[in-house]
Structure 1
Amino acid sequence: MPRLDTAVHDVATDVIAAPEGDAPYGGVVADEAWAAEVRRLATERDAVLLAHNYQLPEIQEIADHTGDSLALSRIAAASEASTIVFCGVHFMAETAKILAPEKTVLIPDARAGCSLADSITGEQLRSWKAEHPGAVVVSYVNTTAEVKAETDICCTSSNAVDVVASIPADREVLFCPDQFLGAHVKRVTGRDNLHIWAGECHVHAGINGPELAERAAADPGADLFIHPECGCATSALYLAGEGAVEADRVKILSTGDMLTAARATEAESVLVATEVGMLHQLRKAAPDIDFRAVNDRASCRYMKMITPAALLRSLREGADEVHVDPVTAERGRASVQRMIEIGKPGGGE
């Protein structure tokens, strides 16, 4: 654990500031004393600490495992620890609970939601299914447990094309909730009977085409790592098609695949279109490469609600525990398992 602050203090005296409104928990410095106390409490609780790639760097550094949401949930299910502390957003902790129902699952701040997961409810999906009887429902893992329970097969951004391609060509497909990932799948598969829900992640949707074109023109030798949830994914392919960017430099990648590509690229610089927390892991994976955000304002406030104070509070108090109705969990687990059987299950968002 690298030193994050020069001052070492007594964590036992820290007063965790109660949040006002939707403000995150504060009042704690992520220094060596904090790190030592977090590790002590994790051992005391028999807890494994998981951190999503979009978390604050100090949260990523203290975690036992860092990665995308599905890979972390699978690690959680396989772990011998009795408690999972999921530093991410709420649907991710729910997925961990679905895959490991016998374990205690904590999220350091239950208010850490997700605009994409919130863009479709179980009731809305049931109504949509009623309009298309016989259709196969494919849901991105970035959905609530209730939506997973109404889903036939889940998918990740790295295997969404494979999941849809596995469905007989004459079956209608309802794809939810991300419209940009859905458009990517439809473009690759050429499938006309794929219906797409109009949901989006507000952070990824805000990374736009003109911004990408401007950054790419300023650094023509850079690779472009584009998450398929981004509003600029189509623009990236257009730039390649028009010759403005070399086609082999445009890579549409999940967060997990970005790390693999970072280790393999021969470019000196990479423009990254996803939430800015991903830069920390990319720079660790390939420290000699200049990784820069296409939009340096692309920060998810929900992800950043998992603060050092929130993590300390969670371990001290056993807060906030995540529960999923057993029937909902069983149905959701089936949709996730079907996805895993198709292949490439480790790459999450």
Structure 2
Amino acid sequence: DLAIETGGCVSDSLEMARFGRDHAATTLVVAGVRFMGESAKILSPEKRVLVPDMEANCSLDLGCPDEEFAKFRAQYPDHTVVVYANTSAAVKAQADWMVTSSIALPIARHLKAQGKKILWAPDKHLGGYIQKETRAEMVLWKGSCIVHDEFKAIELENLKKQYPNAKVLVHPESPADVVRLADVVGSTSAILKAARELDADTFIVATDNGMMHALRQQNPQKFFLEAPTAGSSATCKSCAHCPWMAMNDLQNLLEVLETGRNEIHIDETIRTKALVPIDRMLAFAKDYKAQQEKDQLDGTHHVLPRRVSITALLGSIILVSCYALLQNHWWGHPAGKPLTVASIQGNISQSIKFSADGLQLSYDTYIKSLENQSVDLVITPESAHPVALAQVMDQVGERIVHATKTNHTYYLLGAISEDSATEYANSAYVMNPDGQFYYRYDKHHLVPFGEYIPDLFEWFVKLLQMPFGEFQAGALVQNPVRVKSLWIAPNICYEDLFGEAIARSIRQNSQKGMQPHILANITNLGWFGYVMVLDQHLQIGRMRAFETQKPIIRTTNTGITAYIGANGQ
């Protein structure tokens, strides 16, 4: 979390090293184990590379000493040497190729196609998986990861019986009998991708349980179980936690930042040699990705029937031609003075949003942001404070009013309006720099079953004999809000899907002398997790901007917050 908040990088060793190489910073702090720091230094020799604890190591690295590896390599002079990223710079310097788990299979297939024999180190399980999948002729170093080596197939089978619908995600450093039980075998990034994209609610994950935080954070609506490393009689049902990675704590990190200690140094001769297999892999990965993209395009063409292909092609040509003709044709015109806007994306998980802790977190997140902004307008997402506005003002109203007055800022916030004991609406309020609310917009297009009960299903609600509440819909056309010299037309959640309704609102308000200059969409999207709908909603907003020739400010809780120009960009 700290790395993300400070503009850093959370990824595997190679991606961290590449990020550090391309970043302008002259000092890199690698919160990982020693080989990760070395990888960063190999790619960035001119930079100072620090690690929180020099004793933080890796069992794969420790289990493959460079001198012993040199003797092993000498026994197979006709083999191409391929080493895993989890090795020291001194071992990498002896290799022809370095690989990560995400690119290991394609490189092994490439070498096999060239008739090469492969000497692999250090992980025997990953090597065995590569050998099985590619049928390449390989000699394996007998190392293993102390974390993944502990997964037990028999216990995993028992857990699968308890959760028969769960998908099993396994890192290929795991033993072969565990890999055989997997629905997906892949690298850290592949596991994260599978968790996002697979149509399943429950997952069993066989890799370092340090990943569970990221999995749960990115997929709050899904349930993740750690694959067992021991039987029911053991004191630890899942001990899949790297003790060396756990040595990276905030205290060590603070000391490194204050003192500059624990700097990584690599002999230049070794560094230069170690760079060769890394560069070779990076060049291969770039070409491989480009070929994959080309193959996907070719494959899409071939599976379509000829008539459909021609129709789709003609339709695409027409659409692209229309866009090309219209994208530089402006029927809008600049108006008013520039407005500075801050859109605040809180990333409040849906799983805690309606709890007392979640409500307090929303107050702290959004109001602190409001207090720190010196802009004309601050916008928060839909239901940023998921309670009645009166409750918000009772608890934190003084802070909000003080911030708007101090910063001379307009404040648009998402909250619940309460017109009576039984009438509520999903609303957007605007406060002026004098600390007074002067505008309210109520959501018109409500979500069935989430915000209201459709008429045809009221019988079902009565049958349950349970109290169900629902929101009141706002008017289809509502006035925009004046912020300084500009009119802003809000809409909430998926209302920007209804282009005809937005066009009608713009047209009718223009006739009243209140033509909107800017559209503002506030939305939550926390219900969906990290799925394709987040990008789809952004694309919908782009189309609304292009067809109305009006810029759009999108402010989301967990989606994609963005400013979209009047040309849809």
Q: Where do residues 40-59 of structure 1 align in structure 2 (5 Å cutoff)?
A: none
**Aligned match for 1:190, one of 135, 144, 162:** 135
Q: How does 1:84-103 map to 2 (within 5 A)?
A: 84-103=28-47
Q: Aligned to 2:247, which of 296, 305, 311?
A: 305
Q: Secondary structure at the match of 1:138?
A: strand
Superposition deviation, residue 344 in structure 1: 6.7
TM-aligned CA deviation for residue 345 of structure 1? 10
| Number of the residue aligned with 2:279 | 337
Amino acid at match of 2:150: G
| Partner in structure 2 of residue 234 of structure 1 | 177
User: Is the 2:172–2:179 Cα contact (8 Å) retained in structure 1?
Assistant: no
CA distance in 1: counterparts of 2:57 and 2:249, whole angstroms: 14
Secondary structure of 2:30's aligned partner: strand
Q: Which amino acid aligns with 1:65?
A: C
Over 3 Å counting, the alpha-carbon distance change for 1:205 and 1:71 in structure 2 is: same
Amino acid at match of 2:135: G
- Greater C-alpha Rg: 2
Matches within 5 A, 1:201-212: 201-212=145-156
Per the TM alignment, residue 266 of structure 1 is displaced from its structure 2 partner at its CA by 1.1
| Change in CA separation of 1:236 and 1:182 when aligned onto 2, cut-off 3 Å | closer
Alignment-derived partner of residue 530 in structure 2: none
Task: Select 2:215's aligned residue among 246, 267, 282.
Answer: 282
Q: C-alpha offsets along residues 17-49 of structure 1, whole Å, 9 cap, x if unaligned?
A: xxxxxxxxxxxxxxxxxx7xxxxxxxxxxxxx5
Q: Is the contact made by 1:139 and 1:148 (CA closer than 8 Å) also made in structure 2?
A: yes
Query: Does the 8 Å contact 1:139/1:176 carry over to 2?
Result: yes
1:200 aligns with 2:133: no
User: Is 1:71–1:346's contact at 8 Å kept on the other side of the alignment?
Assistant: no
Aligned 8 A contact 2:53 2:247 in 1 = yes
Shift in alpha-carbon separation, 1:206–1:61, aligned structure 2, 3 A: farther
Unaligned runs of 5+ in 2: 229-237, 290-569
The answer as to whether partners of 1:82 and 1:104 remain within 8 angstroms in 2 is yes
Secondary structure class of the residue paired with 1:81: coil
- Residue deviations 1:273-317 (CA, integer Å, cap 9, x gap): 000000111112211110111133111110010111100000000
**Structure 1's 185 and 168: CA in aligned 2 closer, same or farther, altered over 3 A?**
closer
In the TM superposition, what is the alpha-carbon distance from 1:235 to its structure 2 partner?
3.2
Cα distance in 2, alignment partners of residues 124 and 321 from structure 1: 26
Q: Once the 2 structures are TM-superposed, how far is the Cα of residue 63 of structure 1 from its aligned partner? A: 6.7
Q: Which amino acid aligns with 1:175?
A: W
Contact 2:151 2:178 in 1 (8 A): no
Cα distance between partner residues in 1 of 2:5 and 2:186: 23
Deviations 1:107-133 (A, max 9, x none): 011110111111112212211221111
Aligned to 1:243: none
- For residues 317 and 93 of structure 1, the distance between their equivalents in structure 2, rounded to whole angstroms, comes to 17
Q: What letter corresponds to residue 124 of structure 2 in structure 1?
A: Q
TM-score scaled by structure 1? 0.76
Change beyond 3 A, Cα 1:316–1:183: same
User: How has the CA–CA distance of structure 1 residues 213 and 63 changed in structure 2, closer, same or farther, with 3 Å as cutoff?
Assistant: farther
The count of residues paired between Structure 1 and Structure 2 equals 279
What's the secondary structure of 1:151's corresponding residue?
coil
Distance 1:256 1:346, change over 3 A: farther
Q: Is 1:179 equivalent to 2:118 in the alignment? A: no
The answer to whether the 8 Å contact 1:108/1:320 transfers is yes
| 1:168-216 Cα distance to aligned partner (Å, 9 max, x none) | 553221000000100110010012x211110001111011212211211
Aligned-residue CA RMSD (Å): 2.0
Instruction: Measure the CA separation in 2 of the matches of 1:109 and 1:346.
Output: 36
TM-score (norm 2): 0.47
Q: Write the distance in 1 (CA, Å) between the matches of 2:189 and 2:219.
A: 14
Corresponding position of 1:322? 264
Q: Per the alignment, do residues 323 and 226 of structure 1 end up closer, same or farther by CA in structure 2, a change over 3 Å counting?
A: same
Cα distance, 1:166 vs structure 2: 1.5
SS at match of 2:70: helix
Superposition map of 1:69-148 within 5 A: 69-148=13-92
Q: Distance in 1 between matches of 2:6 and 2:33?
A: 17
> Partners in 2 of 1:346 and 1:331 — Cα distance?
24
Q: Provide the C-alpha distance between the structure 2 equivalents of 1:346 and 1:311, rounded to a whole number of angstroms.
A: 37
AA aligned opposite 1:167: L
Deviates more, 1:314-323 or 1:211-220: 211-220
2:167 pairs with 1:223: yes
Aligned residue runs from structure 1 range 153-168, under 5 A: 153-168=97-112
- Percentage of matched positions with identical amino acids: 35
| Structure 1 residue 213 corresponds to structure 2 residue 166 | no
* Cα contact 1:228–1:254 (8 A) shared by 2: yes
Which residue of structure 2 aligns with residue 261 of structure 1?
A: 194
Are 1:162 and 1:342, in contact at CA under 8 Å, matched by a contact in 2?
Answer: no
The answer to whether the 8 A contact 1:70-1:346 is kept is no
Residues 333 and 303 of structure 1: CA distance in aligned 2, closer, same or farther (over 3 Å): same
CA offsets per residue over residues 133-152 of structure 1, 9 Å max, x none? 12100000000000000010
Q: Which residue of structure 1 lines up, in the alignment, with residue 184 of structure 2? A: 251
Cα gap change, 1:288/1:303 in structure 2, threshold over 3 Å: closer, same or farther? same
Residues in 2 aligned to 1:345 and 1:333: alpha-carbon distance in whole angstroms = 19
Q: Where does the alignment leave 5 or more consecutive residues of structure 1 unmatched?
A: 2-34, 36-48, 50-59, 240-248
Change (3 A) 1:175 1:225: same
- Matched with 2:322 is none
TM-fit CA distance, 1:340: 1.0
Please give the secondary structure, in 2, of the residue aligned with 1:111.
Answer: coil
